[in-house]
Amino acid sequence: MSFLTLANVNKSYGATRAVADMNLSVDKGEFVSLLGPSGCGKTTTLQMIAGFCEVTSGQVTLDGRDITHAKPNSRGLGIVFQSYALFPHMSVYDNVSFGLEMRRVPKEERAERVKAALALVHLEAHAARYPRELSGGQRQRVALARALVIQPPVLLLDEPLSNLDAKLREEMQFELRQIQRKVGTTTIMVTHDQTEAMSISDRVVVMETGRVTQIDQPHRLYEHPQTRFISNFVGKANLLEGRVAATGPWATVNVGGNVPVEVEAAGVSQGDAVVLSLRPEKIRLVHESQGRIGGTVKERFFLGSQWLYQVSTAAGQLAVVCPNDGTAPAEEGANVGLDWAAQQVRLLPGAQGVPA
């Protein structure tokens, strides 16, 4: 039985539906991320779970208890806000201790739990400091310790790493996951950063305009996107529009200037308009006389560990990502061949990639 459940949850502001027919079941100890662009409804969903936002219709259940209309302080959830919301006039120790004091936890037990929480986030030596004396990463850890010290059934994270610089953000992603695994707290995180969601989540919920478009494990979400939006939002993709020329277990789709592309497909008919998705890193640069299609390098960009090429072909302009293995890169203006394994091409369901 699921630990946290949202059943047909809706949130409306007048005629505007911020969240529509949200159905989500989260297992105990699971780390789930709500992913999507600004305005997709992910933060509103988190706020309905927390009780800060009234549910228009539907039901929220936690460990078998209906909390749809329960007050926020009666839900006992741990929350880390985007701004961390630390008390500036309180020390690190007092910030972490605050929730326990409000729950009237005895002083000795409170001291032990605060000490353990600070040890968990490696801040024992900073207990007497104030938020202004801490770095952004340290403040993030304090907020996390304060949320976890109350031993919540669910931890809610609202864009917790968005205020950190790129390098620290990457470090904190993995530290956050390690802490969550060690504690075992069921966690729901809101983010618009697909790398963040993919790297640390058990499952990712992709939202678009208030609706869930796909719920899946990160690698399956990346390798098997169900819509055009997901294909381009979760990572990068070359999207090729075409028509089915031949059917079977392997269909032939003519794209661009009648370039035939093989794709594993079922349930399509000859003449159907479809969209193919091909990830840039799945394409290899080969000699111009080889490969599935020829092209000309229009632009190249050095990304450190990779080279990104924009290649003009009869199928349209394709992005190609190649590892930087130390060999000389292809020059701009060079004629090249492009090759890929047929099983790496994805047929997006329905015309224009809209779910069938």
- Residue 21 near residue 211 (C-beta atoms within 8 A): yes
In this predicted structure, the answer to whether residue 209 has a pLDDT above a threshold of 90 is yes
pLDDT value, residue 349? 67
Kindly give the pairing relationship between strand 335-339 and strand 293-302.
antiparallel
| 237-289 pLDDT per residue, tens | 999 999 999 998 899 999 987 899 999 987 788 999 999 999 999 999 999 99
| 54-84 pLDDT per residue, tens | 999 999 999 999 999 999 999 999 999 888 8
Phi and psi for 194 in degrees, rounded to 5? -65, -30
What is the spatial distance between Cα 247 and Cα 264, in angstroms, rounded to a whole number?
10
In this predicted structure, the answer to whether residue 291 has a pLDDT above a threshold of 90 is yes
What is the spatial distance between Cα 73 and Cα 51, in angstroms, rounded to a whole number?
8
What is the spatial distance between Cα 327 and Cα 321, in angstroms, rounded to a whole number?
14
- Residue 233 near residue 194 (C-beta atoms within 8 A): yes
Q: Which residue has the higher pLDDT, 266 or 116?
A: 116
Based on C-alpha coordinates, what's the Rg of the chain?
24
- Residue 143 near residue 84 (C-beta atoms within 8 A): yes
pLDDT value, residue 168? 85
What is the spatial distance between Cα 349 and Cα 264, in angstroms, rounded to a whole number?
12
In this predicted structure, the answer to whether residue 309 has a pLDDT above a threshold of 50 is yes
DSSP secondary structure letters along 60-105:
EEETTEE-TT--HHHH--EEE-TT----TTS-HHHHHHHHHHHTT-
| 122-176 pLDDT per residue, tens | 999 999 999 999 998 899 999 999 999 999 999 999 998 888 888 888 888 999 9
105-110 — which CB contacts under 8 Å span 24+ positions?
none
In this predicted structure, the answer to whether residue 355 has a pLDDT above a threshold of 80 is no
- Residue 277 near residue 233 (C-beta atoms within 8 A): no
| 313-343 pLDDT per residue, tens | 999 999 999 999 999 999 999 999 999 999 9
pLDDT value, residue 84? 83
List the beta bridge partners of residue 38.
none
In this predicted structure, the answer to whether residue 311 has a pLDDT above a threshold of 90 is yes
Nearest to 286 by CA among 240, 249, 322: 322
Query: 4-229 has which CATH code?
Result: 3.40.50.300
Span(s) in the chain for CATH 3.40.50.300: 4-229
pLDDT value, residue 351? 46
- Residue 298 near residue 311 (C-beta atoms within 8 A): yes
Q: What is the mean pLDDT of residues 350-356?
A: 42
In this predicted structure, the answer to whether residue 356 has a pLDDT above a threshold of 50 is no
Among 5-9, 157-161, 204-208, 264-268, the range scoring the smallest mean pLDDT is 264-268
Nearest to 240 by CA among 231, 308, 310, 355: 231
Q: What does the block give as tokens for 94?
A: 């007092």
Mean pLDDT, the chain, whole residue set: 93
pLDDT value, residue 350? 52
In this predicted structure, the answer to whether residue 224 has a pLDDT above a threshold of 50 is yes
Nearest to 247 by CA among 266, 260, 231, 219: 266
pTM: 0.90
pLDDT value, residue 1? 63
